[in-house]
Amino acid sequence: LLLRWRWRRGLWKKVKEARQRQERSLVQMEMAVRCFREQHPSMNMISILSLPLPELSKKLRDGSLPLEHVFYAYVGKALQIATETNCITEYLQESETQVRKAKRTGKLGLLYGVPVSIKDSIDCQGHDSTLGFIKNLNKPAAEDSVVVQVLRRQGAIPFVKTNVPVSLISYDCKNLIFGQTFNPLLYTRTPGGSSGGEGALIGGGGSILGFGTDVGGSLRFPAAFCGICTLKPTGNRLRPLAMNALFWSLPVVTAVGPMAKDVESLALCMRALLCEDMFNLDSTVPPLPFNEEVYSSTQPLRIGYYETDFFTMPSPAMRRAVRETKQLLEDAGHTLVPFELTNVDYVVFNFCFRGVFADGGTSFLKKFKGELDKSVRLFFWLAKSPNWLKTVLSWIAKPFLLMPFFGFVSFFSTVDEVWSLHHEIEEFCRQFIAQWKKLNLDVMLCPMLGPAFGIGYPGKLSVAISYTVLYNALDFPAGVVPVTMVTDEDEEELKGYQGYFRDWWDRTLAKAFRGSVGLPVAVQCVALPWQEELCLRFMKEVETL
C-alpha cells in the first residue's frame, strides 16, 4: 500500500508540474504580447486576424505586413482562446527567436512568417509529445517530425502545441494532465477529437493554420464540430510523426493533415508541403508535387452521394446538409449519382475495431499500464480473462450492440487471422473502387457527423464514427467543409429520431444531437487515393456554392 501510495503521489506530482508549465506558457504569451503592444501601440490586430491565409502569406512575402505584427497578433488571440477553451498545452517560446532571426533574403517559402499550431502528438524538438499519457511527460522529442521540419523550411513558425484525448482513440478532447478542452462556439460542447485542441484554437480564430492526425476521424470531427475545414490525405501523402507515437495496426491507416478556416488555405498548405524537402527528408513519401492543373480545373464533376450509411442514422441537419449541397451542385452543372453503401456495420466492427485491436488490445492496454486513468480498468480485467469468458461476454453483449466494448479483447491473435483481415480489407477496397468506377465517379459527397456533441457523449458513442472511419479503412483522402447550421425545424424534426436499431446507442445519439440550434453542420468530400488535389477542388466548389 505504501509503495502504491508513493507511486500515485509521484504521478500526480508530474501532472502538477505539467499544469504549472502550461500556466507558465500562458503567462509567457501574455507578457510577450503586452511588451510588443507597448512598443507598437499602432498595431491593428483586428485587421491582421481578418486576413485569409493566402492574402496574409502574400503580404508577408512582399514585405507589406511586418512579420512581428502577424506573430504577436496571433499569440494574443491564441492566449484569449486558450483561456476560454483550454486548448493550448505549451507555448513554443523559441518561436520568438525564429521571428527575430527571420530574414527576407533569397527565395521565401510559401508559408514565410505564418504562425502555425501543432497537435500534441506531432514531435517538436525539445517538447513533450504526451498523447495524454503521464508516462510521456518530461520526455522531450530529440528532433522535429518531418512535417514540422518542412514547415520550418517553408518559413512557417510553429508557436503552440494543442491538447488531445488520452491515447488519441476518442473524438472528445480530455486527459488527466491538461483536462477538458471546450468548443469555442459553445462551451458546453466538445470540440471533437482527437485533434480537438487544434479545432478549438482555429475555430476560435487563435491560429490561421494547424496540423493534426486522423486515425478514425480525428481531423474531421474537430473541423465539423468547430465550423472549420480540414483535409485527411491518403495515409502516406504527408509524413506524420515519430512512429513511437503510434500503436495502431496497419489495416486502419493514420494520416496527418492541415486544418484551417477555408479550403484555399488548405490548398496553399499542401502546395508548400508537397515539395522536394518533404521527398528528400522521407523517402517513403511518394514524390508527387501538388497538381495545380487538377485543383484549378473548372470541368463539371460527376459526383456520387449518399445521405446515410444505414448504420448511424443521420440527424435531420446532417441529412439536410447533404440534400442542399447536392441541389446546389446540380444547379451549378455537376452530375449527381446515388451511391449505396452496404455492410458498414461489418466494416466498423470487423475492419476498424478488429484492425486497431488486432492483438486483443494488448498493445493498446500496454500504453495505459502505470497510468492513473480509470476509464480502461474494465478493459484490463477483460484482457487478463480466459478466452472462454471473453467469448461468452462478447456474445452476451452483442444484442445490446456493446460488441466494441467487450468484443475487442476477444478478437483474434493468430498470424493467419491477421493476414485474413488484411486480405478482407483489400478485397473490400477493390470492390468499393469497382463500384466507384462503374458509376464513372470523380468524387463523393457524404454526410459528416454533427453538430457538436455535449461533453462526455463521444465516450458513450464510439460506434458513431462510422461516417469517418470508413475512409481510414479504405485510405481515401477525405475533407470536411461546413455548409449550414442547425435550425429550429431540424430541432423539431429531431423529436421523432429513433435510429435504425432503436437501442441504447440510438437513444443516446438522439440526446447528443439535441439543443444544437445555430451550431455548424458539415459535409464530407471524398476522392480516390492520391487524388488530394481533386478532393480539394471539390471542397472548394462546395464551399463556394
In 3D, which of 483, 482, 484, 481 has the Cα closest to residue 517? 484
Q: Kindly report, residue by residue over 264-273, the tens digit of the pLDDT.
A: 999 999 999 9
| Whole-number pLDDT of residue 242 | 47
Distance CA 518, CA 451 (A): 9
Q: What is the pLDDT of residue 388?
A: 75
* CATH class of the domain defined by 296-342+417-544: alpha beta
| pLDDT tens-place string over residues 493-537 | 999 999 999 988 899 999 999 999 999 999 999 999 999 999 999
194 is in an annotated binding site: yes
* pLDDT for res 161: 98
Question: Does the annotation place 363 within a ligand binding site?
Answer: no
Q: Show contacts of 331-337: CB within 8 Å, 24+ apart.
A: 332/541, 332/545, 333/300, 334/300, 334/301, 334/302, 334/303, 334/541, 335/300, 335/301, 335/302, 335/303, 336/303, 336/304, 336/305, 336/445, 337/302, 337/303, 337/304, 337/305, 337/439, 337/441
Query: Using 50, 70 and 90 to split pLDDT, how confident is the model at 359?
Result: confident
Q: Cis omega (within 30 of 0) on the bond before 451?
A: yes
- Of the listed ranges 25-29, 107-111, 152-156, the one predicted with least confidence: 107-111
Domains 12-290 and 296-342+417-544 share a fold: yes
pTM above 0.85, yes or no: yes
User: What average pLDDT does the structure give for the chain?
Assistant: 91
Domain residue spans of the chain: 12-290, 296-342+417-544, 359-411
Q: Would the pLDDT of 404 be above 60?
A: no
Enzyme catalytic residues: 119, 194, 218
At 375-384, the pLDDT tens digits run 666 666 766 6
C-alpha cell at 106: 533569397
Confirm whether residue 217 is marked as ligand binding: yes
Tell me whether residue 382 is annotated as binding: no
pLDDT in tens, 162-197: 999 998 989 999 999 999 999 999 999 999 999 999
Residues 292-331: tens digit of each pLDDT: 999 999 999 999 999 999 999 999 999 999 999 999 999 9
Q: Is 250 annotated as a binding residue?
A: no
Percentage of the chain exceeding pLDDT 70: 91
- b/e burial code for range 337-374 (CB count within 10 A of at least 16 → b): eebebeebbebbbbbbbbbbbbbbbeebbebbeebeee
How many other C-beta atoms can be found within 10 angstroms of the C-beta atom of residue 543? 16
**Backbone dihedral region for residue 227 (phi beyond 0: left; psi -120 to 50: alpha; all else: beta):** left
Are the C-beta atoms of 161 and 171 separated by less than 8 Å? no
Which CATH number does 12-290 carry?
Answer: 3.90.1300.10
